[in-house]
Amino acid sequence: MKKFFFILLILLLVGSYFIRIYKIDGTSMNYGLIEGDIVLTYRQLDAIHRGDMLVIKHPLDPEGRLYIKRCAALPGDIFFQKERSFYLQIEGNSVKTKQLALSHDLQAVSTQYGYFIKDPYLKYYGVVHNWRLQVPHELAQLPVTKIPKDHYLMLGDYRDNSSDSRFFGAVPRKWIYSKVIFIFKKPRNWMMLINIKEADDK
């Protein structure tokens, strides 16, 4: 019996190291994640993919809190933003980007820097815009930028109210702590979603 409890204790300790649980507080991932949702995250990141929801260090938060954002671009990717739309070139490869867009029914846009996919995440994730909000320049327009080695572009799904890489740049790998692997969503109904706050009170 003692051996069983010892093994159980070891498993719990190991699990507590690899698994982290967080409660959502804030609006930047509306509406896929809303305040009160619980996420289960895993610390060992063998690979990071575009679209992953990741727990990251936020360099501009004076309290040093952790934030959850979506990985929008990997090292070597090129992006820019125009009129709130996000444009992505995979691995800086125009031909590969166009082929990917055609094979997945995504919109490829030709520019002087080659082909970019326009708003690639709208089709697969709950990326939200609120056109009634007046947004700062960083949330609407960004120049053509290449993601450096070992860095990742992190964006909130609620694109018009998120403090993310558009303000503090691509996140180094050492600032990424864990990946969301499961979401415990609190009950939702139509009226609750209508009445949810759409911007942080500031």
What angle is formed at CA 175 by the lines to CA 200 and CA 125, rounded to 5 degrees? 55
pLDDT of residue 12: 47
Quote the CA–CA distance of 133 and 179 in Å, as a whole number: 30
Per-residue confidence (pLDDT) for residue 77, from 0 to 100: 98
Give the domain ranges of the chain.
18-186
pLDDT at 3: 57
Tally the C-alpha atoms within 13 A of residue 42's C-alpha that lie toward its C-beta.
Answer: 9
Q: Which pLDDT belongs to residue 177?
A: 93
Q: What architecture (CATH level 2) is domain 18-186? A: Ribbon (2.10)
- Phi then psi for residue 4, to 5 deg, are -60, -45
Question: By the 8 A CB rule, do 81 and 140 touch?
Answer: yes
Give me the average pLDDT of each 10-residue run along the chain (202 residues).
Answer: 51 63 91 92 89 91 89 98 96 98 96 97 89 84 96 95 92 94 88 69 36
- Contacts of residue 105, defined as CB under 8 A and 6 or more positions apart, other chains included, come to 123
Type and span of the H or E element at 7: helix 2-18
Q: Tell me the β-bridge partners of 19.
A: 42
Count CB-CB contacts under 10 A for residue 94: 18
